[in-house]
Structure formats: C-alpha cells, structure tokens
Amino acid sequence: MKSLEDLKELLERIDHRGYPAYKDIRGRYQFGGYVLSINHVQGDPFASPSKVSVEVQGKVSGFPKSLYINSCRRIALQDELLRQFGHQAEKAAFKAKGSGKSGLISVSRCSQEILERSACEINPSSGDILLRMEVGLPANGRTINGREAVKIFFELIPVCVQKSLYYRPLDKRRLEKIAELADDQDYIRHILTERNLCAFVADGAVLPRESGISQKPMRGAVTFKAPESLAVTMNLPYGGNIRGMGIPKGVTLIVGGGYHGKSTLLEALERGVYNHIMDDGREYVITNDTAVKIRAEDGRSIRGIDISMFINGLPNGKNTEHFETDDASGSTSQAANVIEAMEAGSRVFLIDEDTSATNFMIRDELMQSVVGRESEPITPYIDRLRELYENYGISSIIVAGSSGSYFHKADHIIQMRQYIPEEITNFAKVKAAEYPLKMDKAPSCREPSFDRRPKGVRERPGERTKIKVLGKDSIQLNRDNIDLRYVEQLVDSEQLTALGYLLNYAQKHLMDGQRSMVQIVDELTDILNKNGLDKICESSYLPSGLAMPRKQEIFACFNRYRKLNV
C-alpha cells in the first residue's frame, strides 16, 4: 500500500500532462484514519467519473456495535452514513474546477426506502466501513489539472469522511433512534404471520405523497386512522404500544369514491415490503415482504408459463400449460403475472382494478348469458381467488371502484372516505345479497407447473456484457432490452442495475437446462446472502450504484427477458 505522500507526488508529477496519465494514480493509499482506493480512472473528463472508495476501520470510526448488531440495524446504519456522506459531498462537489465532470464528488442518492446498497457496506464482525463514490478527476480541456486533484483528495474528501464516517461528530441520539426504528419495523414484519395478518398500517401514518414525481410525504395530508373493527395494537421493542389497522389474511376489498385514497393505500402497501426512513410517514406501514403487485402488462414477453389455471382452450390451439408469446394481451399477461408471482413464493397479491384487464378480473351475468363458458377460454380471477387462498395460502388485497361482484367473495371490505378507512363488510354483504352473483362453476384446475429449466447463452471468449439502465423503466444487456416499467415495486434504478448483473451471472453460470428457475433464483439469493453483490460482478471492483432487489423482482426481471430460453 502506498502513502498519501505518494499520491500527492504522483499528482504533481502528472500535472499538465495528457489525461490518460491519470491512470498512474490507480491503487490504495493510506491516509490518516482511512484508506483511499482509486479503483478505476475515467478515460477523459467527459466520460463516466472515476471509481473511488474509502475504507475506515471499525476501531477508528468508533461506531458502537449495538448500532449494527443485526442485519436490519446494519442496513439502516449504512443507509444513514451514505445519506450523511452524500450531504457533505453535495457541498464539496465542483469546488475543484475544470472541464466536463471535473470536481464531481457523488454517491448513491437514497430514496425514502431503506435498501442495502453497494455504495456503503459495514462489516458485521469488525465494524469496518467501506464507502464507494464517483469522482470527476479535474482537467483543463484534456490536460490534467493536478492542483485541483490535490484539492479533491487532500481537502474535500477528507472533510466528507470526517463529518460522516466517524461516530464522534454525528448525532448520537439520531443514530440510536434509527437503530431502534429498524428493530421495531423488523418486529412488526415478523409478527404479521403470528397475528394472521398481511399488512399493518399505523395510526398517524401519512400515505399521500408530495407529487407524482416525489415520494416525500405530502404536507398537511390527512393522517391515517384505523377502523375500530380492524384495529390491532403492536407492542414494539422500543416504540411501545402502537395502534393501527391490521389487514387479515384472506380476501380484502378496498372500495370508495374517486380521489378518496384507495390507490394511495394500495401504493403504500406495495412499498411496505421495504422499511422506510424516519419521518417518511410510512415508516410503520409494513406489508408481508413477499407481496407482489399484479397488473395487466400488454405487449410483454412470456416464456414457458403454465397459465392453464386461468386460460384454456384457445381457438388457435396454443398450449397454455407451456405458454409463450412475444406480445401478450392484457388477460394473458395478468394471468402470467399471477403464476410467476406464485413461482416466486408470494403470499399476498395486490391488485388495482384500474391497472387490470377487465376480462381477466370479472365476467358479468349478462356477458355469461350471451357468451357461454364453453366459448370463453378465460376463467376470471374472481373464480379463483378463494381457491388461491384456501389451497395455496395466497391472500388478495383488491382495489375496486366499479364492479361490486367481489363483495360476494371478500372476507373484509374497507371503504376509504377522504383517506380514512371504514370497515363496511356487514353492510356490503347485506347489499350484495340483493344482487345475487350468478356465475357458472369454474372448471377445476391442477396446480400450476413450475418446472421451467432455462438454458443460458454461450459466452464467447473475451466477450464482456454491456449493462445499461434507463431509470426505473428498463435494462439493456448488450442490444437486448428488458422492459420493467410495470414492475412497480422496483423503487430505485440501482435495483435495476443489480438485476442486470444478476441476469448476466445467471445466464453464464446457472442457466444450464438442468436447474429449474426456482433453483436458479434460490442459488442466486444464497450467493447474495453469503458473499454480497461482489460475486456476481465481472469487473475487478464492485460498482457503487447497486441496490439489492427482492427475490420477487429477480423472478420478474428474468421472466421479462425476451431471450430467455426455456
């Protein structure tokens, strides 16, 4: 390992030389209380920034082990340190001047959700901190500006490190509250099953968001209050007794007039599979962490999915037990999404009527009388949701605004009135009895087959896969596009980047035609749990912009890959 004096001498030596000379500074340098690593140097000042990391030993940073003693506390502390460093980096960025990205100092931008990210890692045994960042190495034109580079490495970054990665200058009580909140959230998440619940929404929660492009809480919004009939109290390890609405397992229907908060509640439940930061308003909105949003997705590809539970006897004779298409309809896509979520181990389906295929959800009495079941290949969801719960243990939470047929099937019915829930199950059942649901008995079906054994691509010697992410919409693997814009529980573009690496790794090492899709994803999650994201990256260094996706989103990504060979 080199010393900080070696780095300063190198920067002075290459000053005023051509930009490629910056490659000489790659390496590890011992600074006062940390090690600085320059892992990758950008090709020119307008290219993607250089990759730099900082390592601080646990005995130097001084964070008490109690703050990272378990997984949920560790991830919450990593998230907070990354936010603190990001705040300092914003103040330091571009104070070193130059062309293009010169002077940039940046780290991952954290959302309202707390995600495990490659940008900040804490070793659970030693407390050592590793923070990864991007730095724009300064230049005038394409000539190295060594003096400004010295400013970055010897003035600006050290201040960022001192003010964010050491325990002493930070707000001790805030760090304790973050750790306690993580434990409380983890407690609720684990006790849901014991309480026979799908989800919990605390009194006082702020569900509306600031705007369509901001996930920050809306100021002055109506706060949530549980109806007495669904109220439960959680005795939290640190937060004491907290009251809220428990959504029981089974079939729950959310109804109400337009703009009264139905979809807002459902969106909060969608994102409740993740922990949220303090003061987000949804920090005590906790959903079963296998929950999946199910919707129609016209045009998506489907590869070898057994959708016979919902669709059979297609006029073209197409096999629905091993269904494939490059251009799915609304009904076939939603049927595939249900079966794929079952394959991924989901125990809760979240469905909004507004984003569903009407013919997949319901067929009214008049339509049944005109077009008999023998002429209709679709068995609608309403005919299967009781079976899904009673035979497979899968609950459904459905937002409905126009069709009352689901009143007959629901265990619990919640009406939203100006963002406040009211249970109306008994009233709705009485009204539903006045409109009997006359439906033909659904045909019996066997358990879906999940025996898909994909084959990967042959790797050419020396070939390197290019992975590009377009926001939260899609991933490009070389020239192949994977459309993920309708996988609504992906909350951060860094999750998509990680999915790109996971798919690339699985194709090259796990998709051998022998392992099933379930075995492949299980093996991947084992690798992630044991080795983190390092194992699945091809490069000599781990990129900073990766965030851990759930198992369900790994399945979703693989299933939308048009070159998936099953």
Burial class of 446 by CB neighbour count within 10 A (0 to 12, 13 to 18, 19+):
exposed
Mean pLDDT of the chain, nearest integer? 94
Residue that the structure tokens 């490629």 belong to: 20
Residues 39-49 have pLDDT tens digits of 999 999 999 99
- Describe the crossing of helices 172-194 and 71-92 by its angle, rounded to 10 degrees: 140
Mean pLDDT confidence for 151-162: 97
Domains of the chain by residue range: 2-170, 182-450, 467-559
Spatial distance between the Cα atoms of 244 and 230, rounded to a whole number of angstroms: 8
Q: Is 460's pLDDT higher than 80?
A: no
> What is the reported pLDDT for 240?
97
Give me 302's structure tokens.
Answer: 């489907």
**Which 3 state secondary structure label does DSSP give 51?**
strand
- Determine how many CB atoms are found less than 10 A away from the CB of residue 256: 23
Amino acid 481 reads N
Residues 228-275 have pLDDT tens digits of 999 999 999 999 999 999 999 999 999 999 999 999 999 999 999 999
For 90, half-sphere exposure in the C-beta direction (CA atoms, 13 angstrom radius) is 7
Task: Sort residue 268 into left (φ over 0), alpha (ψ -120 to 50) or beta.
Answer: alpha
> What is the reported pLDDT for 375?
57
- Determine how many CB atoms are found less than 10 A away from the CB of residue 456: 20
Spatial distance between the Cα atoms of 416 and 265, rounded to a whole number of angstroms: 9
- Pairing type for strands 231-236 and 240-248 reads antiparallel
> What is the reported pLDDT for 288?
98
CATH class of 182-450: alpha beta
Residues 362-408 have pLDDT tens digits of 877 666 656 656 657 899 999 999 999 999 999 999 999 888 899 99
Mean pLDDT confidence for 439-457: 86
Spatial distance between the Cα atoms of 16 and 98, rounded to a whole number of angstroms: 12
> What is the reported pLDDT for 464?
79
- Determine how many CB atoms are found less than 10 A away from the CB of residue 228: 9
